[in-house]
Amino acid sequence: MRSYGQYCPVAKALDVIGDRWSLLIVRELLIRGPSRYTDLRKGLDGIATNLLADRLRELEAAGVVGSAEAPPPVATTLYSLTERGQELERVVAALGRWGAPLLAAELPDDAYRSHRFALAVKAGKDRSPSQRPVAVEVRVDGEEPMVVETVGGDVKPRAGTAEHPDAVVSGPTLLIVALLTGRLDLATATSRGVHVDGSREALTRVLPARS
C-alpha cells in the first residue's frame, strides 16, 4: 500500500495495518494463536490465496507477524504474532466493540464462525482473578461449537468442545451473539429460546456486563 506520507501516529499505523485484510489476519492470529497458512485461509473465509501470501510477507517485514518452521512430524510453517503484533489487540478490540451493533439487525449471507466472537467475550469481561476457573461451551444451531474458559481472571475463548463444561449454552445464532456481546441479558435470552445446561452462575461469570 502507498504510504499516506503524513507525520502522524494514526497515519503511520494505517501505513502498516491499513491494507485490506491485514487487520483480519491479525484478528485471526490473536484468536487462534500460531496458525498454518491453510487454517488462516479457512478462518478468513474468502481471502484470495495470493493476497494472504502478500499480506503475510508485508506484516512479517513490518515486524507484526513472525513465521517459524514447526519441527517434524508436523513439518509446516506456523505464523504467529510478534510481541509488537500482540499489542494490536487493543486496536482490534476497540474496532470490535464499535462494530458489534452492526450485527444486530439480521444475519444475511455472511459467513458465520463461532471463534470470531472470542475477542468480544474477552474484552467485555472484567477480571475477577480470585475465583475458580470455569468452562462454558457455546453451541450455535448448526455451527461448530466454541468454548469459553476463565483462567485466573483472564478469559480464554477457543474453538472446539470442553471435556467437562460447567455449563452449555445453545440456541439460535442471533440470540447467542446478542448474549455474548452484551446486548441481551440472560433472563431475556432464555425466555426467547436460549437453553442453558449446567451452572447458570458459571455462565454469568463469562458473559460481559450488560452494555
Contact region with DNA (CB under 7 A), list: 13-21, 104-112, 149-157, 168-176: 13-21
Choice between 19 and 89, CB closer to DNA: 19
- Member of 14, 23, 34, 39 binding DNA (CB under 7 A): 39
Does 36 bind DNA (CB under 7 A)? Our answer is: yes
Nearer to DNA, 72 or 129 (CB): 72
Half-sphere exposure of 22 (CA within 13 A, CB side): 22
> 7 vs 130, which CB is nearer to its own copies?
7
Please tell me the distance from the alpha carbon of residue 117 to that of residue 177, in angstroms, as a whole number.
Answer: 8
Give which of DNA, its own copies, none residue 206 binds (C-beta under 5 to 8 Å, depending on kind): none
Kindly tell me which residue out of 14, 23, 34, 54 binds DNA, with binding defined by CB under 7 A.
54
- Please count the residues of this chain forming the interface with DNA, following the rule CB under 7 A: 21
Which amino acid, 184? Answer: L
Q: Look-up: residue for cell 455451527?
A: 143
58 to 87, contacts with DNA by CB under 7 A? 67, 76-77
Shortest gap between Cβ of 174 and DNA (angstroms)? 26
Which of 90, 146, 153 lies closest to 117, judged by CA? 146
CA dihedral 21, 22, 27, 30 (to 10 degrees): 150
Q: Which three cell numbers stand for residue 178?
A: 446478542
* Least distance CB 36 / DNA (angstroms): 4
- CB-based contact 207:182 (threshold 8 Å): yes
CA nearest neighbour of 134 among 114, 115, 154, 159: 154
**Contact residues for DNA, defined by CB under 7 A:** 1-2, 19-21, 36-39, 46-51, 53-54, 56, 67, 76-77
